[in-house]
């Protein structure tokens, strides 16, 4: 088992796709594939320097912090309530999109489960001297979940760190969590394509393909009436991807791609639908 993540540059986020093992007796899905799969840009043409930490986490002054103890008294307040609510909404519309999509292929869809019930790992809560917080946190076989990241484990579990979601939510609102959830769910869809004998549908650029499928998911969920976007949301969706780009462009299957690449693939899926994201079967 291996985890595949939202962000690059971390240790526990190895790739899993590409094996193409087909379970006996599984009826291949009627995936309609695009004649031209998206291609990653040549590595030498793009130089982006955006990283998540540099762009997203605005260390705004926290007026609610106790100046004496430094304790963050905002924990568990309305912001978290909104964050959990919007994340749950993203799970619902993302699951709805994939369920409808697979049902349209006459195939039963089984979505991933969320770690701890709502997917939220709170690494900071376990960040205590001597405490090995990660032993209590989400794991993927012998890999622990990275802090400040989100991941899908091929056991069918998704998890996201509160330390990723909260600052992202502060910066980009619900658009941020929509992207995170849709991206991780896309990895579940990729695994399903492989298990169902549609391995060629999963491109080597699997992280960028997950961004592409995330775009398809959000646009599709809007079209199906599962969610409505507000003015400025589309800009915040792409800004989220831009903020999470690698410093380097895509080279190997577990690279997430540069900011420009992530935005480009997301937009391809958003405008072109699922067929624009899949490889040739
Ligand atoms: Zn990913």
The string of pLDDT tens digits covering residues 102-156 is 999 999 999 999 999 999 998 887 765 555 555 678 888 888 888 899 999 999 9
CA–centroid distance, 26 to ligand 1, in Å, is: 25
CA–centroid distance, 17 to ligand 1, in Å, is: 11
- Report the chain's mean pLDDT, rounded to a whole number: 78
Q: Give the residue, 65 or 280, on which the prediction is more confident.
A: 280
pLDDT at residue 7, rounded to an integer:
80
pLDDT at residue 117, rounded to an integer:
95
C-alpha–C-alpha distance, residues 240 and 260, integer Å: 11
* Segment among 71-80, 210-219, 226-235, 257-266 with least mean pLDDT: 71-80
CA–centroid distance, 30 to ligand 1, in Å, is: 24
Query: What is the end-to-end Cα distance of the chain in Å, rounded?
Result: 25
CA–centroid distance, 170 to ligand 1, in Å, is: 22
- H-type helices in 105-232, by residue range? 133-136, 162-172, 174-195, 206-223
CA–centroid distance, 130 to ligand 1, in Å, is: 30
C-alpha–C-alpha distance, residues 27 and 12, integer Å: 32
C-alpha–C-alpha distance, residues 280 and 260, integer Å: 24
pLDDT at residue 135, rounded to an integer:
62
Q: Where do the structural domains in the chain lie, given as residue ranges?
A: 3-273
pLDDT at residue 51, rounded to an integer:
26
Question: Dihedral (C-alpha) 60, 65, 67, 70: value to the nearest 10 degrees?
Answer: -100
DSSP symbol at 68: T
* 3: β partners: 153
Please say if the pLDDT value at position 30 is more than 80. Answer: no
CA–centroid distance, 100 to ligand 1, in Å, is: 22
Please say if the pLDDT value at position 49 is more than 80. Answer: no
Place of tokens 């769910």: 185
């Amino acid at each position: 088992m291996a985890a595949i993540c939202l962000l690059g540059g971390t240790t526990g986020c190895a790739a899993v796709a590409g094996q193409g093992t087909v379970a006996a007796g599984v009826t291949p899905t009627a995936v309609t594939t695009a004649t031209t799969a998206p291609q990653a840009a040549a590595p030498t043409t793009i130089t982006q320097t955006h990283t998540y930490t540099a762009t997203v986490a605005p260390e705004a002054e926290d007026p609610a912090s106790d100046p004496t103890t430094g304790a963050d008294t905002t924990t568990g307040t309305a912001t978290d309530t909104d964050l959990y609510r919007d994340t749950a909404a993203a799970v619902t519309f993302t699951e709805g999109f994939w369920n409808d999509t697979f049902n349209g292929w006459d195939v039963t869809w089984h979505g991933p489960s969320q770690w701890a019930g709502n997917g939220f790992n709170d690494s900071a809560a376990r960040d205590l001297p001597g405490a090995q917080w990660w032993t209590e946190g989400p794991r993927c076989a012998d890999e622990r979940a990275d802090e400040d990241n989100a991941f899908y484990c091929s056991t069918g579990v998704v998890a996201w760190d509160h330390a990723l979601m909260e600052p992202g939510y502060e910066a980009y609102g619900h658009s941020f969590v929509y992207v995170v959830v849709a991206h991780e769910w896309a990895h579940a869809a990729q695994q399903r394509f492989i298990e169902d004998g549609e391995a060629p549908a999963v491109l080597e650029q699997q992280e960028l393909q997950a961004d592409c499928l995330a775009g398809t998911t959000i646009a599709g969920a809007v079209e199906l009436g599962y969610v409505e976007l507000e003015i400025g949301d589309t800009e915040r969706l792409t800004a989220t991807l831009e903020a999470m780009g690698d410093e380097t462009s895509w080279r190997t299957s577990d690279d997430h791609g540069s900011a420009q690449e992530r935005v480009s693939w997301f937009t391809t899926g958003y405008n072109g639908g699922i067929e624009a994201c899949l490889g040739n079967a």
